[in-house]
């Protein structure tokens, strides 16, 4: 059985390839560390979302790519050309999306601390909707639209009070969260919005977290949103309801993420049972669109054995290009590209940074590699590039897109000169 964390086109034998391209060749051509993206996986994941909602939800639907997962022009273009909208959380993400050629009427803007400048930018671009997180943000938007005498669409983010089984740092729907408003407060905010001639209330936004494996949490969310819809129907028309994103992906063989089709099927069935398909449903995947499409290629730089303690293999990257193991304790799968497949042993894969916590994978079992061999880590399409840091003045890796035997550079590797950009 093919591992769930492999990209669609990844082949292990006779030599590791992706998108029909030899992975060692990519390392020699572009250097390492190197992010590699499989276009076929990106396309298939987007089509799964589109086809699933089209099949099960008998009204309008919108699938928005959450740009924070991978804010890269070429990736945004691929999804936009397939019919996906875009979800941004900062002015910078909005700028990248517009630079990619995205129609502003396909863009939604969420976040809990939008600045006046960011909000003005979004209003000037006439995006599809600004998701209001709090009362202070409402006052900022009201000030701007009245000053400009222009009208803008808004949604209100609620706290659905749903706890999910995921890392505490990526839960967003529980009672104590920095995102959104309790439902009663959200109702008070909506009343204020409805009194403003330059604000057009579109609907309700919600999000329960990330890396979610249990679809029953989304079904429960649909129940909460249904009650909100019923509460509001006498005072205003709710045109859109967002269930957020957060569907999980496989990082290891133990992970068993749900199918996109099951998400659309079960949530659609719940809404049909409660309030019908009476509004446009919005879904906002990020990780589940791009995570499995990406791998990272490293070169092994050193090895050491601490007698009766541990073996270490160190690569030429680490927490700068993948901070998630250090930040969340995230687990990854890997593969050594080595001609010597006989000596299998247990060791930890360390990064090159000046932190003891810079460990990509602990207690990894594979061939004992040689210096200069390559090592692949899987499921690195989401958040690795976007959370990159210049710690230790490390250069940001390049990104290569592969498809049908061809490779295309879509992000250049940093140079030493880039490290001085902005410094005086």
Residues 214 and 337 occupy one common structural domain: no
Is residue 166 predicted with pLDDT exceeding 80?
no
Host domain of residue 139:
39-290
pLDDT tier for residue 175 given thresholds of 50, 70 and 90: low
**Token digits for 110?**
């969420």
Is 79 among the domain residues?
Answer: yes
Residues 127 and 242 in one domain: yes
Are 300 and 412 members of one domain?
Answer: yes
Q: Calculate the alpha carbon distances from 412 to 147, 171, 194, 300, 397 in Å.
A: 41, 33, 47, 22, 7
Tokens of 179: 């995102």
- 369 in any annotated domain: yes
Cβ neighbours for 252, distance < 8 A, ≥ 6 positions apart: 5, 331, 332, 333
**Confidence (pLDDT) at 328:** 86
Domain boundary among 239, 257, 290: 290
Q: Are 313 and 350 in contact (CB under 8 A)?
A: yes
Rounded to two decimals, what is the model's pTM?
A: 0.94
pLDDT digits (tens, 9 = 90+) for 121-142: 999 999 999 999 999 999 999 9
DSSP letter string, 118-175: HHHHHHHHT-SEEEE-SHHHHHHHHHHHHHHT--EEEEEEEE-----SS-GGGB-SSS
Average pLDDT taken over every residue of the chain: 94
Q: Is residue 123 part of a domain?
A: yes
Residue with token string 């003005």: 120
Residue where a domain stops, chosen among 260, 290, 320: 290
b or e along 176-210 (b: 16 or more beta carbons within 10 Å of the residue's beta carbon)? ebebbbebeebbebbeebeebebbebbbbbbbbbb
Residue 173's pLDDT is what? 43
- Do 234 and 114 share a structural domain? yes
Confidence label for 167 from pLDDT (cuts 50, 70 and 90) = very low
The mean pLDDT value for 210-231 works out to: 94
CATH value at residue 364: 2.40.37.10
* CATH code, 134: 3.20.20.10
User: At 281, is the secondary structure helix, strand, or coil?
Assistant: strand
If asked whether residues 282 and 301 sit together in one domain, one would say: no
> Do 281 and 299 fall within a single domain?
no
Mapping DSSP onto H, E and C, the string for 54-82 reads HHHCCCCEEEEEEHHHCCCHHHHHHHHHC
pLDDT-derived band at 311 (thresholds 50, 70, 90) equals very high
Which residue's entry shows tokens 């990272």?
Answer: 296
Together in a domain, 98 and 196: yes
Which residues are known to be catalytic? 354
Grade residue 161 by pLDDT with cuts at 50, 70 and 90. confident
Q: Which residue has the tokens 């690195």?
A: 380
Integer CA distances (angstroms), 171 to 212, 255, 323, 406, 423, in order: 9, 18, 18, 39, 36
Task: Specify if 6 maps to a domain.
Answer: no
**Whether 33 and 46 share a structural domain:** no
Q: Helices 260-274 and 216-232 sit at what angle, rounded to 10 degrees?
A: 30
- On whether residue 10 sits in a domain, the answer given is no
Are both 81 and 191 inside the same structural domain?
Answer: yes
Q: What is the pLDDT of residue 163?
A: 65
C-alpha distance from residue 188 to each of 81, 191, 227, 228 (Å): 39, 5, 16, 13
Query: Is there a single domain that holds both residue 132 and residue 277?
Result: yes
Residue 218 covered by a domain: yes
Q: Are residues 231 and 124 in the same domain?
A: yes
Report how many domains make up the chain.
2
């Amino acid at each position: 059985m093919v591992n769930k964390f492999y990209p669609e086109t990844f082949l292990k034998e006779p030599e590791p390839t992706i998108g029909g391209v030899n992975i060692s060749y990519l390392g020699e051509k572009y250097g390492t560390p190197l992010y590699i993206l499989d276009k076929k996986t990106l396309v298939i994941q987007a089509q799964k979302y589109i086809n699933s909602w089209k099949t099960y939800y008998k009204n309008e639907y919108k699938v928005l790519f959450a740009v924070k997962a991978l804010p890269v022009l070429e990736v945004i273009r691929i999804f936009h050309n397939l019919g996906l909208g875009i979800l941004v959380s900062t002015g910078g993400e909005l700028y990248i999306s517009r630079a990619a050629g995205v129609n502003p009427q396909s863009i939604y803007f969420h976040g809990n601390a939008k600045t006046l400048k960011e909000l003005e930018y979004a209003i000037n671009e006439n995006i599809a909707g600004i998701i209001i997180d709090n009362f202070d943000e409402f006052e900022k938007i009201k000030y701007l639209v009245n000053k400009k005498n222009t009208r803008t669409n808004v949604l209100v983010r609620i706290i659905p009070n749903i706890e999910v089984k995921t890392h505490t740092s990526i839960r967003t729907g529980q009672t104590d969260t920095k995102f959104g408003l309790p439902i009663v407060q959200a109702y008070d905010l909506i009343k204020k919005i409805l009194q403003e001639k330059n604000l057009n209330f579109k609907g309700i936004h919600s999000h329960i977290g990330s890396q979610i494996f249990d679809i029953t949490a989304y079904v429960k969310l649909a129940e909460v949103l249904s009650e909100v819809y019923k509460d509001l129907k006498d005072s205003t028309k709710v045109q859109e309801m967002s269930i957020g994103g957060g569907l999980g992906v496989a990082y290891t063989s133990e992970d068993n993420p749900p199918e996109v089709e099951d998400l659309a099927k079960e949530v659609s069935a719940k809404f049909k049972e409660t309030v019908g398909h009476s509004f446009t449903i919005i879904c906002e995947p990020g990780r589940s669109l791009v995570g499995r499409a990406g791998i990272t290629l490293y070169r092994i730089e050193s090895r050491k054995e601490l007698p009766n303690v541990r073996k270490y293999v160190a690569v030429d990257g680490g927490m700068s290009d993948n901070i998630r193991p250090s930040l969340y304790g995230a687990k990854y799968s890997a593969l050594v590209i080595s001609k010597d497949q006989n000596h299998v042993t247990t060791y930890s894969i360390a990064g090159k940074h000046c932190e003891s916590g810079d460990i990509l994978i602990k207690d990894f079992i594979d061939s004992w590699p040689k210096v200069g061999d390559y090592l692949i880590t899987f499921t690195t399409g989401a958040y690795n590039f976007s959370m990159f840091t210049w710690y230790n003045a490390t250069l940001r890796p390049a990104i290569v897109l592969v498809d049908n035997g061809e490779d295309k550079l879509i992000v250049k590797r940093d140079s030493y000169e880039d490290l001085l950009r902005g410094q005086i």
